[in-house]
Amino acid sequence: MTAAQWLRQWLPRKPGAADAGCARFDPAKPAPAKQGHFGLFVRYYLIVVLIYALVVVGGISAWLSITAENSRGYGEAQLRGTHYLIEQRYLGAPREEWPALGEELSEHFAYPVRLAPLAELRETLTPREYERLLRGEVVMESEDEAYTYQRLPGSDQAVALGNFDDVMVQGVPWSDLDLIDSIVILAMYFLAIALPLYFLVYRFWRDLRRLRTTAEALSAGELDARAPEVTTRLVNPLGHALNQMAGQVQQVLESQRILAQAVAHEIRTPLARMRFGLEMLEQAGGDEERAHLREGLETDIQRLEHLASHSVAYARIGRMVGIERAPVPVSALLADLADVFDPEPPLLLSFDSGGIDNLPAHREALELALRNLIGNALRHARTRVAVSATRTDEGYALCVDDDGEGVPEAERERVFQPFAQLRKHPEGFGLGLALVRVVAEKHGGRATVGESALGGARFRIDLPAQ
């Protein structure tokens, strides 16, 4: 059996079979949540095999159709010498011995040798093939390529060789051997698809299952859950993105929790003073005493307003998962800050842009951080506060220096924590510097404090260039 014959046996199919298969195996349809990797493998394996079968079988069929004539010509050329030798045997024998001669020759060939009347062949061959036969050419039957014919000169008979499908090889029909070969080739073909596909599906399924487990843990409130390192390159960025998102969400929720607890704690003192002041105001006898109590109430109200505004700003900046950057003109930013602050002598406030035209940042958040640093420096400075911008190897640095007492080295990390206050300076609520650090970290930078050349503290915000 030739490749063309094998294809003819396998190509016929019921209409709609491929459509039905595609309908059953839809890759766009999501797999059930509890479906294991083997179920996914079988599903996508059948899809791949179906597509490959359609492409390969269809492509081979089209190619064989295009090259069918050349293939038959090749077969005819191979048997031309055999036909010539058989023809000479027939022409050298009397006509009455031709039937017996055919039986004798068949014993020496793996396929039958016989004579076929031209009238019979006229019904089985195409008109073009029959014309070639009359001209004495070797003709291979185009229907199944199982017979070849050649006319005996001067007779109405043709030598017929075949059926080639009945050739016996060690007692087994050649067609059966060809079928076995086809089955082995198909098995190897399907195995070649199955092994790498199973490996890929299993790796994807394993890594996606790990990410799903992490996502389910996060949705259940386990904010410290993180996806393990995955080995699949296509899934690895998804794992990093999930962990980054989980870390940002955890940071936001943790900051909100700390803020809520701290605000609830800090608000008790001014509320208690206000309640006590109202009671005293009702019992006050003189105008001077009542004015003093009202002044105390107004101070507490201002502190509550200050706490509320800083808490809102801290929460708003902290909720930003990602911060949008745009070119910020440094000179214009420092000019706006100079308009906000007007320190009284002997305090001197100076600004230096360092020759920097623009830096990438969130304008509103950066200005809020600098306002807190400048306000903090003015409260602690003796005579001078200097604000400067400089370029660094990593990007940019914004510094606020003062000539105050500075920050003790042991306290330099704690001052950036929410509601942290130095014992020497208990005024305020300790949210300003915490907000500065949040702004710096949202930009991918950092906020630090050290010693200033002016003798006091230097608060510094480092921002990346991109």
Q: Which of 219, 239, 262 lies at the terminal end of a domain, its last residue? A: 262
How many domains are there within the chain?
A: 3
Is 200 in the same domain as 114? no
Q: In 138-186, at which residue ranges do the beta strands (DSSP E only) sit?
A: 139-140, 148-151, 157-161, 168-169, 172-173
What is the residue type of 245? M
Instruction: Report d(CA 209, CA 36) in Å as an integer.
Output: 10
Contact 360, 465 (CB under 8 A): yes
* Structure-token match 């014959």, residue found: 5
Q: Which tokens go with 339?
A: 């308009």
CATH number at 372 reads 3.30.565.10
Please tell me which residue, 463 or 224, carries the higher pLDDT value.
463
Q: Domain range holding 213? A: 177-262
Residue 453 covered by a domain: yes
This prediction's pTM: 0.48
pLDDT band, residue 27 (cuts 50/70/90):
very low
Q: Which of 146, 166, 186 lies at the terminal end of a domain, its last residue? A: 166
Residue 297 covered by a domain: no
Q: What is the pLDDT of residues 80-129, one digit of tens each?
A: 899 999 999 999 999 889 989 988 898 888 788 999 999 999 988 999 99
Is 186 in the same domain as 147? no
Instruction: Report d(CA 204, CA 210) in Å as an integer.
Output: 10
Helix (H) or strand (E) holding 290: helix 287-319
Q: What is the pLDDT of residues 258-304, one digit of tens each?
A: 667 666 766 776 788 788 888 888 887 777 888 888 888 888 788 77
Pick left, alpha or beta for residue 162 (phi over 0 → left; psi -120 to 50 → alpha; otherwise beta): left
> Which residues fall within 8 angstroms of residue 122, CB to CB, at 6 or more apart?
130
Residue 64 covered by a domain: yes
Is 132 in the same domain as 188? no
Is 155 in the same domain as 185? no
Among the listed residues 323, 268, 334, 279, the one whose alpha carbon sits nearest the alpha carbon of residue 466: 323
Is 148 in the same domain as 223? no
Is 203 in the same domain as 181? yes
**226 pLDDT exceeds 80?**
yes
Is 380 in the same domain as 354? yes
Q: In 70-228, at which residue ranges do the beta strands (DSSP E only) sit?
A: 113-117, 139-140, 148-151, 157-161, 168-169, 172-173
Q: What is the pLDDT of residues 384-412, one digit of tens each?
A: 999 999 999 999 999 999 999 999 999 99
CA pseudo-torsion sign 228, 231, 234, 236: positive
pLDDT band, residue 150 (cuts 50/70/90):
very high
* pLDDT reported for residue 160: 92
Is 36 in the same domain as 120? yes
> Which residues fall within 8 angstroms of residue 275, CB to CB, at 6 or more apart?
none
Q: Which tokens go with 76?
A: 């005819």
Contact 112, 146 (CB under 8 A): no
Instruction: Report d(CA 346, CA 382) in Å as an integer.
Output: 8
Instruction: Report d(CA 47, CA 25) in Å as an integer.
Output: 6
